[in-house]
Structure 1
């Protein structure tokens, strides 16, 4: 009886898993409003903040550019502080950046760049926490749905908040620091403790999931660096291309719709609808991606679907834009959900997922930074939107090709590489202090050569 009471002390694993998942979803919701709030009121920014209208394409590009240059910060910070604390620090920096850029007009551009760096730092660690807790496709789906929900809330609430604050746009932008602080508190309390014990060698051998996953025959050579693993580059290309499309759309969709004759408020509402319509798809795509038969069709098929939806938005009359924007939101959000799922599905363990996440999102967002800037420049050069939409549709076709290659080939693994590097680093000082006899040195050298 006493043993049962002692065993019941503390929260149950299921309760802990629920708390970690709640924290992850809260974090995910905070990783898009910094972008979509500005996109929803892009036409007001020059007048309110005194920004030169010619710098609007740069404003849309800055957060994505920050994503590209700050990818390594997340894993580096996690190794020093722990994953949960690293994400919490990133959200605290995000909250500060949101307040500073809204209250000091001269810091609008630097604050936006800093917000992008904070978002990226937190974003790359989400798949690592999911993998460490052995989260299912539903975990990834709920997190990606959180991204979409945050984007929709940012775009849809910015103008109502502006009215609630008496027409004060800076206050409507700064208020998003509050949910960022909440996310920092939750993930700080839950991000360090896996809710499931890591599988041992014996349990992994007898686990049905282990027998169903080609972790031995499908895993790459243990000493292959990440940059030489073709699956890692295919996942990176898929992530970057879908992100380029997403940020180009969210940066300029409202401006395009205004050019078609919609009122700015209606255009902002359709931008919010773009994100809302995709929420179910962002939830279900990672779940469906866990089925190999569906994944073979989904990965390339989503790219072709995005291309068709973009052309639909371009050619449809104003009366059908609600439908066409909704379809575009569904296929675009499904693409993002699949990109996040591929990081988890196509990696061997938590460290591999973290490194692949940093690589795919780092290089991917560096590529994606060209989306808003390129779309804006094409529009400025041509004076219309036809060339811009056709170019985005062509990019979506390339996305289909990246999806085709991302689901083939060996799994991504860096754990063994990191273990070898750690052993070599540990033994290096000893080798400098002790001089081995010639025979022993020869033997050790041959062994080292055979291992390599």
Structure 2
């Protein structure tokens, strides 16, 4: 090898090492910020409603509107991404979350709280749409592991917020403190992004520019698949504590089930990529993850008061694994990091809209039937259907499935 070639290889090796150490830290910091604005609401909802006068319909907007923001911005990424830029996009997203949390420290009205949810949701949407493309570019040989760590940090941030928000609110004597304290990780994320993220050529960072995937049947299939195999999460967060309150559990005990689910989501997001790292075929692991979910929902249907912790743990592990693996599956479809990032943004866009609708459907079924059993049955049936869809994602068919031209 020539001297110039050796120097180039050494520079590339050094850059990859730097990305490996600093890049993972940045990815974790970003992930931690993407769920507290959602999960900190539930434990404090009684205090929030009493102080602001929000009804249940208005309170539901605190979850629905951010999720819709996640979907709509991700769909707009092909048009907004090139204008915003990855670096500015991440900074704007973190600033939006930070400002929304600061606003929540000061607000005293329901309307302002809903507006802060939209602002924070927009920030989350920007970051969430951009991160998969960053992972694909920074860790081309370790996408599953990096995606697993990102997924685990996202879920850990959400679970921590659910547990700590009421503790912080009680310590400071204000429910606003339990919502606004998440300003601190947002500022820490800004500091890391600005100071220690791996530096790249501008050409690499502009990879998000390009067309959209609305005309691609495979992109739509991946998006619907992503939405349905992850749809149990929003239903669990919305209705699992309510379900067990109806079975005469205390508010504290029923709320702890969400914490247990989060622990197993994190464990799955960390362990499943390690287990599947030697295989380019994600189907066996996705099928296993869906079957684990199915076992949990079967337990809720047939024996909700016998080993409830086991059923919730199974659902959490299955959901955590499905989230990480389904995003990895999406990135696998295209070798180019920019194109893969746009595809992941499209899949998340449609997928999060679906996951936002599912709790309404399961809640409506509860109202119509008077029981959550029909809701759990619907989720179980959707898992069985997705097991069949999983079989279509053979690695040798990725290129053929994505051959249709991308619309400009």
Select the residue among 163, 175, 184 that pairs with 1:156. 163
**What are the within-5 Å matches in structure 2 for residues 310-329 of structure 1?**
310-318=297-305, 320-329=307-316
User: Counterpart of 1:363?
Assistant: 350
Distance 2:349 2:323 in 1: 15
Select the residue among 24, 27, 30 that pairs with 1:24. 27
Q: 153-162 or 48-57, which moves further after superposition? A: 48-57
Structure 1 residues not aligned, in runs of 5+ = 1-6, 199-222, 422-452
Match of 1:70, SS state, is: helix
Distance 2:301 2:161 in 1: 24
Structure 2 residues not aligned, in runs of 5+ = 1-8, 205-209
The alignment yields a C-alpha RMSD, in angstroms, of 3.2
The answer as to 2:374 corresponding to 1:387 is yes
Question: Against the structure 1 CA distance between its residues 40 and 343, is the aligned structure 2 distance closer, same or farther, given a 3 Å change threshold?
Answer: farther
Select the residue among 102, 109, 124 that pairs with 1:119. 124
After superposition, give the CA deviation of every residue in 1:56-84 in whole Å (9 maximum; x if it has no partner): 44443222222222214545554234323
Say whether the 8 Å CA contact 1:290–1:345 is kept in structure 2: no
**What are the within-5 Å matches in structure 2 for residues 65-76 of structure 1?**
65-74=68-77, 76=79
Q: 246-255 or 396-405, which moves further after superposition? A: 396-405
Match of 1:179, SS state, is: helix
Say whether the 8 Å CA contact 2:18–2:198 is kept in structure 1: no
User: Counterpart of 1:3?
Assistant: none
Select the residue among 85, 89, 93 that pairs with 1:90. 93
Say whether the 8 Å CA contact 2:281–2:394 is kept in structure 1: no
User: Counterpart of 2:4?
Assistant: none
Larger Rg: 1
Question: Against the structure 1 CA distance between its residues 383 and 114, is the aligned structure 2 distance closer, same or farther, given a 3 Å change threshold?
Answer: farther
Compute the displacement of 1:224 (Å). 10
TM-score (norm: length of structure 1): 0.77
User: Counterpart of 2:38?
Assistant: 35
User: Counterpart of 2:387?
Assistant: 400
Distance 1:234 1:291 in 2: 25
User: Counterpart of 2:218?
Assistant: 231
Compute the displacement of 1:389 (Å). 1.2
Question: Against the structure 1 CA distance between its residues 293 and 349, is the aligned structure 2 distance closer, same or farther, given a 3 Å change threshold?
Answer: closer
Say whether the 8 Å CA contact 1:98–1:177 is kept in structure 2: yes
Distance 2:217 2:275 in 1: 24
**What are the within-5 Å matches in structure 2 for residues 126-137 of structure 1?**
126-135=131-140, 136=142, 137=144
User: Counterpart of 1:242?
Assistant: 229
Distance 1:407 1:278 in 2: 26
The answer as to 2:132 corresponding to 1:145 is no
Say whether the 8 Å CA contact 1:57–1:373 is kept in structure 2: no
The answer as to 2:191 corresponding to 1:185 is yes
When the two structures are aligned, how many residues end up with a matched partner? 388
Say whether the 8 Å CA contact 1:235–1:403 is kept in structure 2: no
Match of 1:226, SS state, is: coil
Match of 1:193, SS state, is: coil
After superposition, give the CA deviation of every residue in 1:21-74 in whole Å (9 maximum; x if it has no partner): 101111011111111111333444322331112434444322222222221454
Distance 1:388 1:404 in 2: 26
Distance 2:404 2:172 in 1: 51
Distance 1:85 1:192 in 2: 15
The answer as to 2:54 corresponding to 1:51 is yes
Q: 226-235 or 256-265, which moves further after superposition? A: 226-235
Q: 254-263 or 405-414, which moves further after superposition? A: 405-414
User: Counterpart of 1:436?
Assistant: none
Say whether the 8 Å CA contact 1:60–1:373 is kept in structure 2: no
